[in-house]
Structure 1
Amino acid sequence: MKLLMLGGTEFVGRAVVDAALERGWEVTVFHRGRHAPPAGVTSLLGDRTTGPEGLAALATGSWDAVVDTWSAAPSAVRDAARLLADRVARYAYVSSRSVYAWPPAAGLAEDGPLVEGSPDDGDMPYAESKRGGELAATAAFGTDRTLLVRAGLIIGPYENVGRLPWWLGRIARGGPVLAPGPADSPIQYIDVRDLAEWTLDAIAAGLSGPYNLVSPPGHTTMGELLDACVRVTGADAELRWTAPEALLAAGAEPWSELPVWLPPGEMYDAMHTADVTKALKTGLRCRPAAETVADTWAWLESLGGTAPQRPDRPGAGLSPEREAEVLAKLAASSAG
């Protein structure tokens, strides 16, 4: 297989490239040159943010498939898809479950209502941008040649958003750690390598249309995830499990200050209860949480403990000062 990866030097794109190379595929990476491409690929330089002229390096060549992870202006997906439609067999667009209209019902499958979007949009909110990207890819390639990978929360090695790396770094420092409960609360995510493997399998099988891509409900829990962080770091951390009501009363922000965690309610239903029956029937395999945590920690240690951070995403997690403040409020509330 000949694969064109739009991006391919960071996180999801990098995992897709690594998986394709391991299969012996011929990989071309189109990127801006901000990071070194993986060894073994053909590197093409360009900048999609400058409009069609930024795609000049893609004016020639043909591939069996293209994988695109773009999450900003849908017009960039439109321009690339139009340019490649006659020279690439299939287009796999890594979208997001954020494209479902809010609030998505618990257990929502791929037939749920969607947000509005347009392939001609410029900068838009994340959900509308991803939906516009879906429409752009489908308009150029048709429904039979377009695969829409609607990913949920993505974690694992190469993560440049900072969710699992923050938990690992915080727990590695040791001491009392604010742990958002309940510990047995089920969570859903997808290891970036499992996403990559499924996407390549789907391309090879000629799959098309939308697929929710996240681990099955009950794959792991918040407690199992954080316990694994304690084990792999070898830290003397003390997880202080705290009820959702107490955390919210103390002003702790779900998701942003306490990554991955959400209290019961609409947000939890949206992020941690997806129906992934369709993907499971086509071979989705999700590795154990302990493996994801251990491999992410090994990757972090190889970088000296500091993960890269996307400049367009805010850093995740409580600062030491905020954590101390929240713990103090919880202690005062308990004493009162």
Structure 2
Amino acid sequence: MQEVLVIGGSRYFGKRLIERLRDAGDAVTVVNRGSSAPPPGVRHLVADRDDEAGLGAALGGRGFDVVIDQVLYTPVQAAAAERVFRGRTGRYVMTSTIEVYSPLTAEAPLTEAAADPAHTAVQLDLPWERPEFVEANYGEGKRQAEAVLAASTSLPYAAVRTAHVLGGGAEDFTGRLGHYVDRIRAGEPVAVHPDSRPSSFIHYEEIAEFLAWTAGQSFTGPVNACSDGELDVTALTELIAARTGGRPLYGPPGAEPSPFSFDHYYGMDNSRAKQLGHTFSHIDDWLPGVIADAAPARQN
């Protein structure tokens, strides 16, 4: 049994992660601002992770075998976490993102070395306290957060670079699949690049499983987490259209292309995770079920 602290993540796949850890016999504590309660059988601490002193006070003298940070977005937050958790845990796992690769162009799946935290400049003086700035610089914030943890000599870390997470129905927490379902059913065009390129994806249950697995491992550094196989936006649109009985219409991307429409190749290589002992599903194993959940049959 491990003592595991999860920062944030009481909703969507974060909730699945917490349940997996609990059901595996770990003693799980969740810390968040109190906006959502964790599942039963989990200790709950209330603190704002951006209030460094308040977070430390809420933790008291507690230590943890593993900390899993689901809401680490900026280098400022990472620097504060390094100070708060130094000496409290032997392993710090942050949920990172495929978007750390967003400024890169490639023709083959990207390995972790393509975005090396050791070679990422950290800019703590940028306006990371402004939510609109963090949202507009999501990938950069994650890159720099990884770099802060990588530079620490006292906080062993792993950064799980999560592919685009897909789930249907209530698990479509970004609303991205709903965007396609709604437009196809309304006969409205989907704005995509004329030569859209594929990217990597992962099912919401599988990323929860991977994060729980990572908590029990000892490796450090970044690791890509994605299902085998890739998907481009046109194929996704056609599958949704087949499910809904609609006919997909396409328009130019304009300033706001539809979700998952990329004008450059955007796939990840998951070889490192496999070499460490994890097995991934293939996207074809779960995508039909996700689309069925996203586009339930109409009631007559």
Sequence identity (%): 24
Q: What residue in structure 2 maps to residue 305 of structure 1?
A: none
| Partner residue of 1:116 out of 116, 121, 125 | 121
**Distance between the aligned counterparts of 1:25 and 1:176, measured in 2?**
48
Q: What residue in structure 1 maps to residue 286 of structure 2?
A: 291
Q: What residue in structure 2 maps to residue 166 of structure 1?
A: 179
> Are residues 50 and 16 of structure 1, via their aligned partners in 2, closer, same or farther at CA, if it must alter by over 3 Å?
same
Deviation of residue 65 (structure 1)?
Answer: 0.8
Q: Residue 112 of structure 2 aligns to a residue in which SS?
A: coil
- Structure 1: stretches of 5+ with no match in the other structure: 302-336
Amino acid across the alignment from 2:180: W
**Distance between the aligned counterparts of 1:122 and 1:12, measured in 2?**
29
Deviation of residue 189 (structure 1)?
Answer: 1.5
Q: Residue 294 of structure 1 aligns to a residue in which SS?
A: helix
Amino acid across the alignment from 2:273: A
**Distance between the aligned counterparts of 1:292 and 1:42, measured in 2?**
34
Mapping 1:162-201, distance limit 5 Å: 162-171=175-184, 173-175=185-187, 178=190, 180=192, 186-201=198-213
Q: Deviations over 1:268-295 (max 9, x none)?
A: 22xx232222123331413545635635
Q: What residue in structure 1 maps to residue 38 of structure 2?
A: 37
> Are residues 132 and 290 of structure 1, via their aligned partners in 2, closer, same or farther at CA, if it must alter by over 3 Å?
same
Q: Which moved more, 1:288-297 or 1:65-74?
A: 288-297
TM norm structure 2: 0.77
Q: Residue 160 of structure 1 aligns to a residue in which SS?
A: coil
Deviation of residue 166 (structure 1)?
Answer: 2.3
Deviation of residue 197 (structure 1)?
Answer: 1.3
**Distance between the aligned counterparts of 1:122 and 1:54, measured in 2?**
21
Q: Deviations over 1:84-128 (max 9, x none)?
A: 232222111112233348334333311125542256865063233
Q: Deviations over 1:54-81 (max 9, x none)?
A: 4421122222211112343322222223
Deviation of residue 43 (structure 1)?
Answer: 0.8
**Distance between the aligned counterparts of 2:222 and 2:236, measured in 1?**
28
**Distance between the aligned counterparts of 1:66 and 1:193, measured in 2?**
20
> Are residues 75 and 52 of structure 1, via their aligned partners in 2, closer, same or farther at CA, if it must alter by over 3 Å?
farther
Is 2:67–2:93's contact at 8 Å kept on the other side of the alignment? yes
* Total equivalences in the alignment: 281
TM norm structure 1: 0.70
Is 1:225–1:293's contact at 8 Å kept on the other side of the alignment? no
Q: Deviations over 1:194-233 (max 9, x none)?
A: 22212222231212111122233x44444553344346xx
Q: What residue in structure 2 maps to residue 329 of structure 1?
A: none
Is 2:64–2:89's contact at 8 Å kept on the other side of the alignment? yes
> Are residues 48 and 188 of structure 1, via their aligned partners in 2, closer, same or farther at CA, if it must alter by over 3 Å?
same
* 2:63 equivalent to 1:62: yes
Deviation of residue 179 (structure 1)?
Answer: 7.4
**Distance between the aligned counterparts of 2:124 and 2:14, measured in 1?**
22
Is 1:156–1:192's contact at 8 Å kept on the other side of the alignment? yes
Is 1:15–1:193's contact at 8 Å kept on the other side of the alignment? yes
Q: Residue 286 of structure 1 aligns to a residue in which SS?
A: coil
Q: Residue 61 of structure 2 aligns to a residue in which SS?
A: coil
Q: Residue 107 of structure 2 aligns to a residue in which SS?
A: coil
Is 2:45–2:58's contact at 8 Å kept on the other side of the alignment? yes
Amino acid across the alignment from 1:209: G
Q: What residue in structure 1 maps to residue 270 of structure 2?
A: 276
Deviation of residue 34 (structure 1)?
Answer: 1.6
Amino acid across the alignment from 1:165: G
Q: Residue 279 of structure 1 aligns to a residue in which SS?
A: helix
Q: Deviations over 1:215-258 (max 9, x none)?
A: 33x44444553344346xx5332223x4xxxx43xx544xx441
Q: Residue 262 of structure 2 aligns to a residue in which SS?
A: coil
**Distance between the aligned counterparts of 1:57 and 1:300, measured in 2?**
43
Amino acid across the alignment from 2:77: A
Cα RMSD (Å): 3.3
> Are residues 287 and 276 of structure 1, via their aligned partners in 2, closer, same or farther at CA, if it must alter by over 3 Å?
closer
| Partner residue of 1:148 out of 156, 159, 170 | 159
Amino acid across the alignment from 2:5: L
Q: Residue 3 of structure 1 aligns to a residue in which SS?
A: strand
Q: Residue 207 of structure 1 aligns to a residue in which SS?
A: coil
**Distance between the aligned counterparts of 1:2 and 1:81, measured in 2?**
18
Q: What residue in structure 2 maps to residue 322 of structure 1?
A: none
Amino acid across the alignment from 2:98: R
Amino acid across the alignment from 2:280: R
**Distance between the aligned counterparts of 2:287 and 2:102, measured in 1?**
30
**Distance between the aligned counterparts of 1:290 and 1:169, measured in 2?**
24
Q: Deviations over 1:105-154 (max 9, x none)?
A: 333311125542256865063233212321333344657x3111122322
